[in-house]
Amino acid sequence: MAINGHRDVRDLEKFIQKNSAAKFYPDEGCPIKKTDIADNVVLITVDSQWYLEDWNNHIYLNEDCDIKNRTEFFLEFESILKKSQGKIIMVAMHHPIFSNTNEGLIARTGGTSLHNFQNKQNRKFRNRLITLARQTEDIFFVSGHDENLQYINKHGIPQIISGAAGKTRKTSLNNDNDFASSENGYARIDIYKGGKVSVTFQGVSTPYTATLIKPIKRELFTDYKEKDSFETSITSSVYSIEETEKSGLYKALWGGKHYRKFYSKDVRAKVAFIDTLKGGLTPVRRGGGHQSKSLRLETKDGKQYVMRALRKSAIKFLQSTAFQDKYVEEELEGSYADDFLSDFYTTAHPYTPTVVATLSDAVDVFHTNPELYYIPKQEALGGEYNDEYGDELYLIEERVESGHKDLASFGKPKDILSTSDVLQEINKTGKSIVDEPSYIRARLFDMLIGDWDRHEDQWRWALFEKEDGTEICKPIPRDRDQAFSTFDGAILNFLNHAVPSLRMMQSFDNDLRSPKWFSFEPYPLDMTFINKSNWEDWEREAKTLETGLTDEVIERAFENIPEEMKGETIEGIKRKLKGRRGNIVDIARRYYEFTNEHAVITGTQKSDTFNVTRHADGKTTIEVHRKDLDVFTRTFNKEETKEIWIYGLDGKDTFNVTGDGDNLITIKILGGKKNDTYNFENIKKVKLYDYKGKDNTIVNKKSKKWLVDDYEINNYDYKKRKYGINQILPIIGANPDDGFQIGFTNNYTTYGIQRNPFTTRHSVSASYYTGNSGYDLSYKGEFSNIFHNWNFGIEAKYTSPNCAKLFWIW
């Protein structure tokens, strides 16, 4: 393995850029870079080899880059595409997404090389990019790699290959409108002011020109009513009555009642014209959400607002979550999946987001201020947006960004940051900049109102400067669409219990069934941002909610609901909210106990010293220092905490373990990229993980260790946490010999530091047969990484003597 190969390439890159006019894109070992090469042209450069490479062979990969894994790369690529809407987008990378190069039989069928199109890693990379590109207008790809010239337009995505400067390879033409040549030559791309883009292949015997992008002249939308034809308010609904009509069988087995009837019930909403609303708003670009159809609006002084339709896009959600590697929007439109998911959205009440601001104010939780409007199609939406937006109900609220630093409900902060900004700051400096009491209160507030959809992009952070000059962040939750959700219907209830990823969707009631599963999405953030607070801190914040949300506050909050929505259902939500308020301390206690079973502690990107001191009665003190900076100090108790992971991150770190103690907490230490020192005076219940190819100093040779060149094990990912999933599934069957088969399978899967792709999996099955009163029992177990990348499996089965099993031999 070339230990320093990646560093050497970066050093060469820096030398060339410093001593010449040459530039590397992307640079600093990162996989992607966005460059504006004109007002309406964006260049996205992608290091495709970064994605395809075996990262275990490169210890220092991603050392200077904020993107640490492949998932983050795709998120960044998608984010750049969304921010580049309305512009011409050129994606330049070495490997093409389409190619007609004749690779040979072995390469076409085996895919043994990462460069082969049929290679699994290569195929996944290309399919994800193609899927994202098909959701984007005015985009094309340019590549080299193949030693020939090609122009391919597939699925409306142009691909240019220009790699024929020297030796060439054969290629074929699969479409009469495409181009392929094995001659030497090059491709010239012309981008015109009017938006046209063309490519010309030159140096070949017959030059070829193709138009990649044709400017579309949008017709001026004029089919809208004049302003003075509207009253100040209008009645409208989210869905039509036909869309919410479901059979009794559908409701009983599958869909339940939800809040379905309120989606087709007319409400009276204020009519708004965006050129006069908030002092005058102008459309900026389409929103980037995966569920809501939204439009970003901006005032003259640069403050941005978001206009979100109450009618959500089921297809958009399925495309972004279930079919990330395959474009399915056209296939799914009007399908049963589209209809079902559109109905699934009725599990959330359409108008309860308007009550959350008043509730939040009462307990000092920051918030946006959504307002309900009917937005007609109008001149201010222009030809670009009138086709897609208007003539329906919308919520308009502040976009949580720095333009609203003067807003009281954001705390009037110094700045507003994204979650990724906060995570990067913590890792770089080691400063705990998140205000834990504020975050605990916000998370308990999520549980109080039943808002289960709290992934990392649902948070922004208000940055404040304290009197001593240090900075601290307080959370600004956004998108409260899922508050007070209800999940009824027999099959949906079964899936909610049986499928782990659906267990966070818990019906709003007096109590919270499982704080653990309810917090499935934000759990990694909770473990990252809350690591110093004890139960007294949690209890204090829970009681703040209990006393702050008085009956009067709750009644006042629900006055914001449209008059047509008020009645038995809203009264039921209020009763349940008051009931949950009475249980919030118990809910907090249960979640506190769960999150403290496992702790994760990180150092900084500099050289840190970690002191682990064992005490009597199962207590362990962990201190993290960097020169004269105290990064972290906490004493853990075995009664609460069973295992602790300590990540050194970057820098030459020192890990000291001292003290005898008893009833010890299991500790796992992961050094990181630099050469670290491990000094374990007490080696009980402590294990170190590091790269085998590094020159680490292990003082006590008896220290337990796992030294492997494995990127996934040795690198910190805040989403990687220790947890277990138990899943019970029924077994139902029948055959003429055994009669009916009734049984179950119980699968228990654990996820720790070493995964391939899990840590352990245990499966126990039992069945009873009515025809002969027989039964069988079986067990399957799999244990990962008994040797590096080698799993161990075991299987056993018992069948009662009277259980008939027939085997046919031909």
Low pLDDT (below 50) residues in the chain: 1, 806-810
Alpha-carbon span 413 to 407, nearest angstrom: 8
Coil/strand/helix, residue 491: helix
Structure tokens at 282: 């102008």
112: Cα separation from own chain's centroid: 31
Alpha-carbon span 750 to 756, nearest angstrom: 11
> Which residue reads 């599958």 in tokens?
254
Q: According to DSSP H, which parts of 395-534 are helical? A: 419-429, 436-449, 490-498, 515-518, 523-529
What sign does the dihedral 251-252-253-259 (CA atoms) show?
positive
Query: How many helices (H) does the chain have, and how many strands (E)?
Result: 22, 36
List all residues 6 or more positions away from 716 whose beta carbon is below 8 Å from its beta carbon.
68, 427, 602, 647, 649, 670, 672
530: Cα separation from own chain's centroid: 20
Contact between 59 and 694 (Cβ < 8 Å):
yes
The reported pLDDT for the residue numbered 4 is: 64
Structure tokens at 567: 């009645």
Alpha-carbon span 140 to 91, nearest angstrom: 6
Alpha-carbon span 293 to 275, nearest angstrom: 20
CA-to-CA separations, 124 to 117, 351, 718, in angstroms, rounded: 10, 40, 24
List all residues 6 or more positions away from 195 whose beta carbon is below 8 Å from its beta carbon.
40, 88, 138, 213, 215
Strands (E), 120-183: 139-143, 149-154, 157-162, 179-181
- Which DSSP state fits 199? E
Contact between 687 and 669 (Cβ < 8 Å):
yes
Task: Work out the angle between the directed axes of helices 436-449 and 535-548 (0-180°, nearest 10).
Answer: 50
Structure tokens at 618: 């199962």
The reported pLDDT for the residue numbered 2 is: 53
Structure tokens at 786: 């008994």
Alpha-carbon span 765 to 745, nearest angstrom: 4
Task: Name the maximum alpha-carbon separation found in the chain.
Answer: 86
Length of the chain: 810
First to last CA, the chain: 52
> Which residue reads 């409900």 in tokens?
409
What is the spatial order of strands in the sheet that 208-213 belongs to? Answer: 186-191, 197-202, 208-213
Contact between 635 and 679 (Cβ < 8 Å):
no
The reported pLDDT for the residue numbered 322 is: 65
Read off φ and ψ for residue 552, nearest 5 degrees: -65, -40
Count CA within 13 A, CB hemisphere, residue 748. 5
Coil/strand/helix, residue 551: helix
Residue 155: left if φ>0, alpha if ψ -120 to 50, beta else—which one? left
> Which residue reads 């590109």 in tokens?
133
Q: Which strand (E) or helix (H) includes residue 383? A: helix 382-385
Long-range contacts of 271-274 (CB under 8 A, 24+ apart): 271/230, 271/231, 271/232, 271/233, 271/234, 271/373, 271/374, 271/375, 271/376, 272/373, 272/374, 272/375, 272/396, 273/227, 273/376, 273/378, 273/380, 274/307, 274/375, 274/378, 274/380, 274/381
Residue 210: left if φ>0, alpha if ψ -120 to 50, beta else—which one? beta
Nearest to 238 by CA among 308, 296, 295, 287: 308
96: Cα separation from own chain's centroid: 26
Neighbour tally for 767: CB within 10 Å: 20
Task: Specify the amino acid at residue 327.
Answer: Y
Nearest to 299 by CA among 396, 394, 412: 396
The reported pLDDT for the residue numbered 810 is: 47
Neighbour tally for 697: CB within 10 Å: 11
